Amino acid sequence: MKAKFLELMNKFSRSMTVPVMYLAVMGTAIALATILQLEFMPEPVAFVGSLIKSMMDAMLNNLSLIFCVGLSVTLAKTKKVDAALISIIVYLMFLAVNNTWLSSQGLLAEAGEMGLFGTGQGVVLGFQVTDMGVFLGMILGCLTAYVFNRFGTKEFSDMFRIYGGSRFAFIVMIPVVLVLAIAVSYIWPYVNNGITATTQFMKDAGPLGVFAYAFGNRFLIPTGLHHMLWMPFSFTGFGGTAEIAGTIYQGAANIFYAEMANPSVITAIDESVRFATFGFAKAFGVIGIALAFIYTAKPENRKATISMLLPAVFVAAVAGITEPFDFMFIFISPFLWLIHGLLTGLFEMLLWILGSRTFMIYGLLDMFISNLPIDPSLTKIYIFLIMGVIGIVVWFLVFTFFIKRFDIKTPGRELIADNGMTFGEDAIEGSSWTDDIMVITEGVGGADNIKGIENCFTRLRLEVADLSLVNEEKIKEANCKGVVIKGNVVQVIIGMKVPDVCEEMKQILGRED
């Protein structure tokens, strides 16, 4: 039961990465729009900026719908277009039913001086409904995908064929949405109270709360469950609630994006930003660790070590994708991974204590773009950068000490196998990965042993029917960066090109997972 629950959580978090990846682009576009609207910009340029801002505001204010569609599509096993269409219909039906029920029962809240803020209700696509934030999209997206996978293949005889397949899944969702939309009118206020209490607890915990959050967010990476920590705090009410320019936003990332889009009305950065600085270790921590690996490497291996580390460090520091680097030492020394987590917690706590309010959830590029439109006196980005330099030194010294003290065989401290693998780069190169995919397929026990094919940021995730048929050493012949087995899921570490590998594998094996 525990293994199944963890796998469900992993599946959810992997699916969430699909819509979340688009938010990085949204943040960049918001920053560009804000810059184009600065006072000294010519009027035509400022107008273009306002157009871009209006587009991004539409996305930011409707993340719930985006998550609903994104989750239903990524979780649906077949006919993903049908699943997307049903999810949109389901979302609209929920809004209509919930609004009608609240109105018929005299439960509609009256707007005050601050609008509907604090009433537990909000306006979504023109409907005044129970305010669930992006949780609405998450719940409906997962529910739609489950029903679709369960009933979307059900077919009937010729007379009723029109009601079979995807249409039957839609039919099933009608009473489900009806009951859910009414139930949340009474249940969700208690959920909101729980979310508020959790947020208040983290706030009251002060620096220790920041330390615990940052440590867990880094330490849980090998399990994939770190998504279940940072995503709620970044995009839901767990990360806080704030009113900016007359609109209510929930989640640390959403709040900061709104502040970035409205710098003229911001007098202080909302304290929710303490949940959105976990990019610090992705850049500065990784640089310090890499320098320690290079420094402690055998002299004859040093150049090769640099060539192995440089691509992974670049991807981690600039783009915030650390898995290619992380898996170089997670399993070599779990102790070093623990140290990495503790240092992450320590520095994010210090950033909060010292007054830094800089936003950074991805890499350095995102950090500079996101914080550029806001007055540095508010973000205190100079504190962030100074601590970054100090962090590089601390990570370097601490890792160097422990590597030497315990003679840990980090990259470069033993013979580098000439197996064609270049750490940190996308492990599988070229325009086609057919040969490597066939090796991976053989390594997991053949195509018939594969129950599901998915990917996250850097890992190819294969659910197998019989784990005893898996040959880990065979999989590693495919020039990947590593293999992790969790329950009945074999995770093959590929790199940033993993979506292409995943899609080609599905095509080769004739799958629609």
CB 269 within 8 A of CB 166: no
Cα(465)–Cα(180) distance, rounded to whole angstroms? 34
The half-sphere exposure of 145 on its side-chain side, counting CA atoms within 13 A, is 23
Enumerate the active-site residues.
Answer: 456
Contact by Cβ (8 Å): 427, 468: no
Cα(281)–Cα(392) distance, integer angstroms: 9
**Long-range interactions of 447-455: CB distance < 8 A, separation 24+:** 447/509, 450/509, 450/511, 451/488, 452/77, 452/513, 453/502, 453/505, 453/506, 453/509, 453/511, 453/513, 454/11, 454/14, 454/502, 454/513, 455/14, 455/494, 455/498, 455/499, 455/501, 455/502
CB 472 within 8 A of CB 420: no
The CA-atom distances, in angstroms, between 350 and each of 220, 280, 331, 360, 386 are 21, 12, 28, 15, 12
CB 353 within 8 A of CB 380: no
Give the C-alpha separation, 333 to 408, whole Å. 7
